[in-house]
Structure 1
């Protein structure tokens, strides 16, 4: 699972989100809607995605 990558795109704004959600978006390297990053597919990244799953779109690369 560690050789796969995930393409994470922020699709909604963080305005009105909790501090934990804001910190998670920043930790993922996102910040504004339509920003996209690629991250390794590992349990840590999956956990971060779960916290903000309603704000992001995830694709396997």
Structure 2
């Protein structure tokens, strides 16, 4: 299984940890989308930046 993640809010003014987490998922600009495996590591990253992204099942 996999999840689709889309960045819907800007990374400007966010903490270094949040920006690094978004970058590790491949999200750099608003509107960027990525498909990631549905595992505990990805879920932890999603939790850190949940207020900046939209997550859907793939």
Greater C-alpha radius of gyration: 1
* TM bucket, shorter chain: over 0.9
Question: By how many angstroms is 1:15 displaced?
Answer: 0.5
TM-score by length of 1: 0.93
Which sections of structure 1, spanning at least 5 residues, go unmatched? Answer: none
Give RMSD over aligned pairs.
0.4
Which sections of structure 2, spanning at least 5 residues, go unmatched? Answer: none
Give the total of aligned pairs. Answer: 58
TM-score by length of 2: 0.98
Moved over 2 A (4+): none
